[in-house]
Structure 1
Amino acid sequence: MFRSTILKTAALAAALVCGQAAFAEEVTLPRTMIWTSYDLGSSGYVEASAMADALDKQFGTTIRLTPSGTAIGRLLPLVRGRASYGLMGNEILFASDASYEFAARDWGPQDLRVLLGRPAGVGLVAGGDTDIETPADLPGVSVGFVEASPSTTLNTEAALAFAGLTPDDVEKIMYPGYGAMLAAFVAGEVDVVPVTPAVAALREAEAGRGFRWLDMPGEDTEGWARISDRSSLFQPRTITVGAGISEDNPAQLMGYSYPQITTLATADEDEVYNLVKALDLSFPAYKDANADMPLWVLEESGTTPSGAPFHPGAIRYLRERGIWDDQDDAWNDKRIAAIETTKALWAEAVKEADASGVSNDDWPAFWEDYRASHAR
C-alpha cells in the first residue's frame, strides 16, 4: 500500500514535469529579461509582476522589473539597451512624436513598437471628504501632477478639457513620481488625481477618506469634442470593474490602452513572436491577478489603435491566431509612416538649428515652431 502510494506520487510528479517541459518547448525565450514598468502601487507594476511570475513558472524565464514613476525613467533603460521591454503608458506616443520631454535635443523621435496593450479607462478621482462631484467643480481645487510624466499630464489635461478647463484653472500640486502622488491623495494632501480603476492605492483611500469618480458621460458631445481636440487617443468608455465601480455603479471614463508592452523597432522578431506566444499560453496563470487582467486576452489586447505601431513579431503571432486583420495593417502602416515623417523633419530641423546656432535650451521651442511650419 505504502509502496503503491509512493509509486503513484512519483509517476504524478514525473508526468507534471514532462507536461511542463512539453509546454515550455512550444516557445523559446531568453533565460533572463529586464522589464521597466510604472512604480510600486500602480496597476502597471502589479500586472507586470503577474506576467513575470507566470513566465518564470511556466517557461523558466526570470524577469527583473525596474519600476519608475516617470516616463523618462521607464524609457531610458529601453533606449540604452539596459532593458528589453517596458510596460508603458501614453509616453510611447510622445516619444514617437518627439513631444513633451522627448522634444529635448538628446531625445528626438523614438522608433518604438508595441507587443500588446490592455484596454483601459482613466479619469479623475476626488477625495470623498471634498464636495467635488463633477469635472465642472474643479476650478481652484488642488490637482496632482507628476514631474516628467507626460502620460499622466495628458490624462489630466484631457479630463480638464472635458469641462472646458486647463491646468491654469486649478491648483497644480507637483510630485516626483506617480506613487508619491497617490500616497499624497490617500493621505488627504491633494483633492484630485488621475488614476486607472485598478490602482491599489484606491483601496487604501476607500478604507480612509473615500473617493468618487468624476464621470465624463459619452453623451456630452461638446465635452468629448474638447477631449478630442486635446488628444485623439481617447474615446468614451463605461467601466464596470475596479475600485468604487460595479455593474450597478459604473464609471464613465476616457478609454485608451494601458499598460502597453513596448520594445524597440529593432528588437528581434523571433524573440517578440515567442514572447507574445508565451503570454498567450500562460494567460490562465496571470489572468486573475487583478480585476483588469482578463482584458489581456489577445482578442482585446492585440488590436489597434495603440500608442506606437505593433512589432512585426507580435503581428506574426496575432495573424496566426486570427486576431490581426487588414484594418489593423492599415492603421499600423499609417502610424509607421507618421513616425518616419517626424524623423525626417527632426533631421532637417537639426541641420537648420546647427546652422543658426540654436542652443540646446532653445531647441524645444525651435523644434515645435519648425514642425508646425513644415508639417507635411
Structure 2
Amino acid sequence: MHRLARHVLFASLPLTFALSEATLAKEVELPNTMAWTAYGTNSSGYAQAVAIGGMLQEQYDTSVRVLPGDNDVSRMTPLRTGRVDLCACGIASYYGAEGVLMFAHPDWGPQPLRVLTTSTASFGLSLAVAGDLDVKTPADLKGKRVAYIRGDDALNKGTEAYLAFGGLTWDDVERVDYPGYARSFDGIIAGDADASFTTTVTPPAQQLASSPRGISWPELDPNDDDAWKRMQAVAPYFQPHKVTSGAGGVSDENPVNSASYPYPIIVANADLEDATAYGLIKALQDNYDSYKDNAPGAAGYALENQDMTWVIPFHEAVVDYYKEVGVWTEEMQAHQDKLVERQNLLLETWKTFTSGDAPDDEEAFRDAWMQARASALRDAGFEPIFE
C-alpha cells in the first residue's frame, strides 16, 4: 500500500485520556472567542464546525462564530487577512499551501498553512457514474462523457485523478463542460453526460441513484500499486478508503473499495498562537464523545482517523500534543520536516519571483510562476506535482 494510505492505528490510548474532564479542562487554554470559515450552511463541514463550537462553548466557555463561504476565495481570504482564526476548508487548502491553480495568482501565492485536525468519515470521493453503463473500474470510462466543471479546480482534479487510476486522461473521454456542479448531475440524469465527481453521500448523487439511469461507483483495487501511483502523481492527497455510506445502497454490508481525502481540513496560518492550536486539538480529542454524533461526519475526527503523514504540515503545537500522547514517531517527524522544508522553499521562491520582473498579465504571470516553482522544487529534490 502506498504510504499516503497508511493511517495511524492505536491499540490503546495513553493514560492522559483517563484523566478527569475537570483536570483536562484546566490544561486547555483557548481564547474567549474564535472565528472560523466553513462551507455553506447546508454543508456537513458547516454542521461539524457548529457542533465543535457547541462543545467548546459548553466545556471551555469559548464562543465560536462560523462564517459560511460559498467558494474557496470567500473561505480562505478571511484566513489570509487574519479576520478568522481557522478555516474548515476543503482540498483547496492543499492548493493554497502549494501556490497552484487559483493560488497561482498575484493576489495569492503559496499560503503558510498548518493542519490542526481533519475528518475522514465513512463516505468517499469518487466519480458518480450512470448505473446503466456497466462501468466497474475507472478504465471502463474510456470513451464515456465525463463532466468538467468550469471554475472548480478541486472537482476537475479529482476527475483527472480517477481517470489516471484507470490509465486514462481527458483525451480518452468525451469532456462535457458544465457551469456548476449540480448542473452536471442534471446532465447525467437527462442523458447528456455519464459521470461527475462528487462525494458518495451528496444529494445530487442520491437524485441520480433515484433516477431511471441509477448510479454506480467505480471500484479502486487497494492492492494495485501502479494504479495508485498514477492517481497520487496527479493528486497525492487521495487515500485508499473502504466506503460504507453512499447513494445506490453503499453501506457497511455493501462497501465499495474507493478513495477519499479528509473533509473538512481544519487549517490555520503557521503563526496561530501555540496555546490556541494545542488547546483546540486537545479539546477535540478529550471531548470526542460529546460531539461525534452531533453532525454528519463528525466521527471522522477520532484519533485513529488522523493521517500523520499527509500532504500539509501540522501546526507545531499539534505535533507537541501527539508527542505527549505517545503517537508521534520518528518517521512522522521526518515527514513533517520535509513538508515544512517544502513550504518554506515555496514561500521563499514566491518572494523572489514577485520581487523581480514578474509579468503583469495574469496568464503570463501564472505560467512564469509555475515554471519558477517547478524549477525551485526540482533543484531541491522535490516533485513539483503541479506544472
Give the structure-1-normalised TM-score. Answer: 0.81
- Structure 1 residues 286 and 187 mapped into 2: Cα distance closer, same or farther (>3 Å)? farther
**Structure 1 residue 230 displacement after superposition:** 1.6
Residue of structure 2 in register with 1:16 after alignment = none
Residue of structure 2 in register with 1:250 after alignment = 255
- Identity over the aligned pairs, expressed in percent? 31
- Structure 1 residues 216 and 346 mapped into 2: Cα distance closer, same or farther (>3 Å)? same
**Structure 1 residue 328 displacement after superposition:** 1.5
Task: Determine which structure has greater relative contact order: mean sequence separation of CA pairs < 8 Å that are 6+ residues apart, divided by chain length.
Answer: 2
Partners in 1 of 2:160 and 2:221 — Cα distance?
17
Residue of structure 1 in register with 2:284 after alignment = 279
Residue of structure 1 in register with 2:339 after alignment = 335
Could you list the runs of 5+ residues in structure 2 that have no partner in the other structure?
Answer: 1-19, 380-387
**Structure 1 residue 100 displacement after superposition:** 0.8
Whether the 8 Å contact between 2:311 and 2:339 is mirrored in structure 1 is no
Partners in 2 of 1:208 and 1:60 — Cα distance?
47
Q: Secondary structure at the match of 2:54?
A: helix
Which deviates the most, 213-222 or 278-287? 213-222
**Structure 1 residue 158 displacement after superposition:** 0.2
Partners in 1 of 2:43 and 2:217 — Cα distance?
17
- Structure 1 residues 277 and 372 mapped into 2: Cα distance closer, same or farther (>3 Å)? closer
Whether the 8 Å contact between 1:38 and 1:88 is mirrored in structure 2 is yes
Give the structure-2-normalised TM-score. Answer: 0.79
Residue of structure 2 in register with 1:170 after alignment = 174
**Structure 1 residue 104 displacement after superposition:** 0.7
Whether the 8 Å contact between 1:71 and 1:149 is mirrored in structure 2 is no
Partners in 1 of 2:95 and 2:326 — Cα distance?
30
Q: Secondary structure at the match of 2:263?
A: strand
Whether the 8 Å contact between 2:127 and 2:198 is mirrored in structure 1 is yes
Whether the 8 Å contact between 2:128 and 2:200 is mirrored in structure 1 is no
For the aligned residue pairs, the C-alpha RMSD in angstroms reads 3.1
Could you list the runs of 5+ residues in structure 1 that have no partner in the other structure?
Answer: 1-18
Residue of structure 2 in register with 1:52 after alignment = 53
Q: Secondary structure at the match of 1:362?
A: helix
Q: Secondary structure at the match of 1:309?
A: coil
Aligned runs of 1:1-16 on 2, under 5 Å? none
Partners in 2 of 1:286 and 1:183 — Cα distance?
33
How many residue pairs are counted as aligned between the two chains?
353
Residue of structure 2 in register with 1:151 after alignment = 154
- Structure 1 residues 172 and 33 mapped into 2: Cα distance closer, same or farther (>3 Å)? farther
Which amino acid is the alignment partner of residue 106 of structure 1? Answer: D
**Structure 1 residue 141 displacement after superposition:** 4.5
Whether the 8 Å contact between 2:76 and 2:87 is mirrored in structure 1 is yes
Whether the 8 Å contact between 1:42 and 1:199 is mirrored in structure 2 is no
- Structure 1 residues 268 and 149 mapped into 2: Cα distance closer, same or farther (>3 Å)? farther
**Structure 1 residue 262 displacement after superposition:** 0.4
**Structure 1 residue 231 displacement after superposition:** 2.8
Whether the 8 Å contact between 2:148 and 2:178 is mirrored in structure 1 is yes
Is the counterpart of residue 138 in structure 1 residue 157 in structure 2? no
Whether the 8 Å contact between 1:124 and 1:156 is mirrored in structure 2 is yes
Partners in 2 of 1:239 and 1:52 — Cα distance?
28
Q: Deviations over 1:32-78 (max 9, x none)?
A: 32222233444323332332233233333332322334322221111
Bigger Rg, which one: 1
